[in-house]
Structure 1
Amino acid sequence: MSTSTTTPRIDKAGARLTLPVAALAFVIALAVQFIGQAKIDIGIGAIVIFPMVWGLILGLLVSIQKFKPLGLDLQRVAAALVGVAVLLLVARLAFNIGPSLPSLLRAGPALLLQEVGHLLGTIALALPLAVLLRMGKATVGATFSLDREPSFAMVSEKYGPDSDQYRGVLAMYVFGTLFGAVFITLLTSLVANWKIFDPLALAMGAGVGSGSMMAASSASIIAAYPGDQEAILGMAAVSNLITTILGVYVGIYIALPLADRFYKVLTRKQTREAAAVAAGGGAVRSQADIDRDDAQAEENRLFREKVAESSAAIKLPLWLSLSVLTVLGIGTASVAAKGLSLSIVLGYGIMLALVLVSIALAKVTKKISAIVYITTIGAYISSPWFFAAESLTTIIKTVDFLSIATVMLTLAGLSLGKDIPLLKNIGWKIIPVGLVAITASFLLSTVIAEFALGLWH
């Protein structure tokens, strides 16, 4: 008699699973910080590869190697740590918003107008390509946005969780998870080194709605315009927050209906041909058609379940997550600063306090996320209107934001091994569509911001 050996999925984890992941991330993050960045000239421009990209790649290699496999639960722990690391990254960036408020206010109209590029750029360029590649109805889900987590609910409610449209959302989500940060780093580095755009316009373009992609993109812009680091980080953080908040409403009421309508317009010839065939064969659908649709729905369901299994959250104690990330962060920040200093430790203390207060407020209000509180409070206490702003900002500046991004993307890399098997389910067509979607979101937003800044500056 056989006995099942399937290990039940756990929903909570403690130090036993967290510390091994933290140790791996610590070694990798420190190693890539020592390696530093590399600049590669490719003729049409230069590409800068940062430690965080090395960390992502090395983390991925560790998570997929077969010699001593990194278990699924360990990868899920790494993913959970990424979620908390994002809060620390936002806390660090919030202290660039306050000092940059005059620039942000002057760029106000441009900051809002360029969101058109983020929110609709994918429809303008990626959707026609997906139609050309005959992705079918999955085109709508894959191209109405960059498809992070909020997109799931929008498409599922409108089309159903087993629909082709929902499969498109999942495919783009998997693509963005695996390749988004690396690709936008290379793209932004190339475009920024052309030196044809205002760095603030590029910073607005970096706010694509993903924390990791925004951090990676901002790093490339700063490498090209090091003198504008504070303004770039502040602008990118605000743009990313606006994209995240507006993305839900624009997605529901504008982007998704528009993508659906645009898809129908572009495929009207195919639709008419299909209708003519159906009319010629009679109004009743054949059993073969019914079986084919049922098989596709079942395939979509299985893919959805695989993605759900891969992305299933695991809960870590907050004290453990923050403790681990603080140690990792202080270590990488010290390497970046070429030495440990009290100000780095104090900087992390301030960021931890900001994160904890914001999480508490989010739990009390329940309708406003911790990220909004972190950004708002951090911007205020670093602004000219707060009495201790200069002292706080001076301390926080000793914590290199790239060191936090390195920790975050290293952990992200360690979590990606579980997503690699999904590649065979998403198909090759999502690769060019995904690349165009990210490019369109960044470039269209940057171009709009460039013209808008020219009008209002």
Structure 2
Amino acid sequence: MTSAASADPVPVAPLPATVPSSAAGKLKLVLVTLAIVAVAERIGPVQFSVGPGKVALLPMLWALLMAAAWGIAHRRMPGVVRVATAEQGFAGGLLNAGLLLFIVKLGLTVGAALPQVKQAGWALLFQEFGHALGTLALGLPLALLLGIKREAVGATFSVGREGNLVIIGEKYGMASPEGCGVLAEYITGTVLGALFIAVLAGFIASLHVFDPRSLAMGAGVGSGSLMAAALGAIAAQHPPEMLPQLTAIAAASNLLTTVVGFYFTLFLSLPLCSWLYGKLEPVLGRFSKRGAQETKDAPGTASLAQAGAPHGGGAMALRDTFIAWAVVGGGVLIGNSLTYKVPLLVSLEGVAAVVAIALAVEGIKRLLPRLPMVLVLSVVATLVGIPGLFPFSDALIAITAKLNFLAFTTPVLALAGFSVAKDLPVFRQLGWRIVVVSLTATAGTFLGATLIAEFFH
């Protein structure tokens, strides 16, 4: 997941080491992940009707589900293909590094389609209010009706990614009820977020009641993997020729949410959520017979932090970053070849160009550790992708245009599947109420931004 700000790490309990002890474990993870990507791409998209709409299960979702199941059942797997808990933890680090290639592709797409992004105009700016306020508009009343107390503030003031953990940690402390709530939101989003938002976004898109540009803006929730899942499902419901425009708009929205959204949540949605809690809890809380129980069914905050929260362990070793890029790049080559019928050598040129951009910014980041990596990478990729801006821009656009956006999502979500498998024991302890509230908050940020963007369209 992408971080919303380059801030100090959240003060949580130290995590056990998750890096595999041997190179063999890393190699096994790479090979199994690429095999899952190949199977997922071979299965291809599957659609079925649900009432008036449709649900599309794309290769990225097959990859997510297969990797998660593989990780959960690792004790029953033969040793040669077993992806143990240590490798599952390592997959989380690979996910963060692998998303850098995904961000480069998004930036290049935005640069090439800058006229379409500029046409979005005020819709792109004001939809951020939907991302910032949609979570509490749906999530907070439901949480109070279910009897959740101050944990509701942490779980519903935002979609609960890394930057939001920082905000709650600094204001309330991670041992507070608000800290428990935001950690529960973080773990729920990590384990179920991509699958949930893909199904939701695909179903809403199939109804054809919203402009596809509005849906693309709604997909930019501030998390790379969630955006990939939502946008993939939206794109599956519209003509292929719309994909570049929708990708550019979603990428611009995601970048805006990642950067500006941090300050929206800090200065707007969190104070408003806390104020609304004080006003609504005496009214809505009385409808729940569980109000007195608060969240005793959930595990302690320490165990949540131990199992699910990210930690500031420093930058990933460069060799491990290369492993992450090999997994994502290899997955792109597989998907581009199997699903989109692009010759392997043509795809390889594009992947090499994307890796070169990521490597250049990665080198700068290691010299300047406090540099906001996601922001700089997005800006650099966007600038070099603007037609005619640099002598090499047009050639770069031509090379990377052969890489289908959806081919990046399958290996990214395969790594996400392995990464979340290790957190399922804690996820089961969270209690169904906080899980339902967390998913409702995720739906709120997507629907809120979509509704506001639709007003301008």
Name the SS of the counterpart of 2:55 in structure 1: strand
Q: Deviations over 1:389-410 (max 9, x none)?
A: 3322222122122121100101
In 2, the alpha carbon distance for the partners of 1:368 and 1:8 equals 27
Aligned residue among 109, 114, 127 for 2:127: 114
| Conservation of the 8 A alpha-carbon contact between 1:46 and 1:193 | yes
What is the aligned partner in structure 1 of residue 428 from structure 2?
424
Q: What displacement does 1:310 show?
A: 9.9
Name the SS of the counterpart of 1:40 in structure 2: strand
Matches within 5 A, 1:218-367: 218-226=231-239, 227-268=241-282, 299-308=300-309, 315-316=316-317, 317=319, 318-338=321-341, 340-367=343-370
Q: What displacement does 1:314 show?
A: 9.1
In 2, the alpha carbon distance for the partners of 1:31 and 1:296 equals 39
| Conservation of the 8 A alpha-carbon contact between 1:218 and 1:236 | yes
In 2, the alpha carbon distance for the partners of 1:8 and 1:124 equals 37
Aligned residue among 106, 131, 154 for 1:93: 106
| Conservation of the 8 A alpha-carbon contact between 1:80 and 1:314 | no
What is the aligned partner in structure 1 of residue 406 from structure 2?
402
Q: What displacement does 1:328 show?
A: 3.3
In 2, the alpha carbon distance for the partners of 1:257 and 1:431 equals 23
In 2, the alpha carbon distance for the partners of 1:205 and 1:13 equals 41
Name the SS of the counterpart of 2:422 in structure 1: helix
Aligned amino acid, residue 422 of structure 2: K
Q: What displacement does 1:271 show?
A: 9.6
| Conservation of the 8 A alpha-carbon contact between 2:327 and 2:411 | no
Aligned residue among 55, 70, 74 for 2:63: 55
Q: What displacement does 1:107 show?
A: 1.6
Q: Deviations over 1:272-326 (max 9, x none)?
A: 9xxxxxxxxxxxxxxxx9xx99x99993333333334999889442333323433
| Conservation of the 8 A alpha-carbon contact between 2:88 and 2:418 | yes
Name the SS of the counterpart of 1:193 in structure 2: helix
Report the RMSD for the aligned CA atoms in angstroms: 2.7
- Aligned pair in 2 of structure 1 residues 382, 429: CA closer, same or farther (>3 Å)? same
What is the aligned partner in structure 1 of residue 186 from structure 2?
173
In 1, the alpha carbon distance for the partners of 2:141 and 2:212 equals 30
What is the aligned partner in structure 2 of residue 67 from structure 1?
76
In 1, the alpha carbon distance for the partners of 2:116 and 2:161 equals 29
Aligned amino acid, residue 28 of structure 2: P
In 2, the alpha carbon distance for the partners of 1:61 and 1:298 equals 24
- Aligned pair in 2 of structure 1 residues 34, 296: CA closer, same or farther (>3 Å)? closer
1:371 matches 2:384: no
| Conservation of the 8 A alpha-carbon contact between 2:388 and 2:394 | no
| Conservation of the 8 A alpha-carbon contact between 2:160 and 2:185 | yes
Q: What displacement does 1:12 show?
A: 7.3
Percent of residue pairs identical: 32
In 1, the alpha carbon distance for the partners of 2:259 and 2:453 equals 19
Matches within 5 A, 1:182-201: 182-201=195-214
TM-score, normalised by the number of residues in structure 1: 0.87
| Conservation of the 8 A alpha-carbon contact between 1:100 and 1:231 | yes
Name the larger-Rg structure.
1
Aligned amino acid, residue 222 of structure 1: A
Superposition misfits of 4+ residues, deviation over 4 angstroms: 10-14, 269-272, 295-298, 308-314
In 2, the alpha carbon distance for the partners of 1:258 and 1:99 equals 38
Name the SS of the counterpart of 2:48 in structure 1: strand
Q: Which moved more, 1:65-74 or 1:196-205?
A: 65-74
In 2, the alpha carbon distance for the partners of 1:251 and 1:233 equals 25
Q: Deviations over 1:347-388 (max 9, x none)?
A: 001000110112223334444422222221222222123243
Q: What displacement does 1:434 show?
A: 2.1
- What runs of 5+ residues in structure 1 fail to find an aligned partner? 1-6, 273-288
